[in-house]
């Protein structure tokens, strides 16, 4: 074999195998390190009972977000009622992925709500006291998530360990809100 045949870069190999790799980003007890670019690969797995869609994508490799994967996430997390797509804040995606890794599960998140148009948010607000008037969902900075194999408390503890945004426990509805806003928590 010639030297040029063996001249692979680590980045080249990772890109070549990204679609089939089963490796995930390392687990972090503090997401600030995760958000600064620790680890080699970041992956997110979700499904939507509303649309029937599923996604399992590696969206970050060695310090670089993969544009096509991020676009796929933006489309997946769209307002399913209006079909409006908004750029999802990458910090929110990172918090979701870091929390998922801390939970040590292979089960995908069930996405209940990602981006919400102002119209959808107003409609939901008229039906529930738990919907904020200026919800971060309308900015593409929040997600409401559920896992069948982890409790609301387990999910919330993982998200809180990230010290990177807001975490809301909605035990009665069996979901956790995660956002990239100020660090805070609420609910039981």
What are the backbone dihedrals phi and psi of residue 110, each rounded to the nearest 5 degrees, phi first? Answer: -95, 120
Give the Cα separation of 172 and 152 in Å (integer): 9
5 in any annotated domain: no
Task: Convert the pLDDT of each residue in 125-180 to its tens digit.
Answer: 888 877 888 899 999 999 999 999 999 999 999 999 999 999 999 999 999 999 99
2 located within any domain: no
105 domain-assigned: yes
Tokens 């997110």, located at residue = 44
| Residue 131 domain-assigned (yes or no) | yes
Closest to 63 measured CA to CA, from 10, 114, 116, 109: 10
Domain containing 81 — which CATH number?
A: 3.30.1380.10
pTM listed for this prediction = 0.78
In-domain check, residue 17: yes
Q: Answer yes or no: is 3 within a domain.
A: no
Question: Is residue 164 included in any domain, yes or no?
Answer: yes
Q: How many Å apart are CA 117 and CA 137, to the nearest integer?
A: 8
The answer to whether position 1 is within a domain reads no
Number of structural domains the chain divides into = 1
């Amino acid at each position: 074999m010639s030297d040029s045949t063996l001249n692979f870069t680590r980045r080249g190999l990772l890109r070549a195998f990204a679609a089939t790799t089963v490796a995930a980003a390392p687990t972090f007890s503090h997401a600030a390190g995760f958000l600064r670019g620790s680890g080699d690969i970041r992956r997110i797995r979700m499904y939507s009972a509303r649309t029937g869609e599923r996604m399992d994508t590696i969206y970050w490799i060695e310090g670089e977000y993969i544009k096509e994967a991020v676009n796929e996430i933006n489309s997946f997390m769209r307002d399913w009622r209006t079909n409006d797509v908004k750029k999802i804040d990458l910090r929110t995606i990172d918090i979701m992925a870091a929390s998922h890794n801390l939970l040590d599960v292979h089960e995908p998140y069930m996405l209940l709500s990602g981006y919400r148009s102002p119209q959808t948010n107003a409609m939901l607000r008229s039906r529930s006291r738990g919907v904020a008037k200026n919800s971060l969902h309308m900015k593409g900075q929040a997600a409401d998530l559920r896992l069948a194999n982890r409790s609301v408390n387990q999910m919330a503890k993982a998200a809180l360990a990230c010290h990177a945004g807001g975490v809301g426990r909605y035990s009665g509805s069996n979901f956790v809100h995660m956002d990239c806003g100020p660090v805070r928590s609420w609910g039981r």
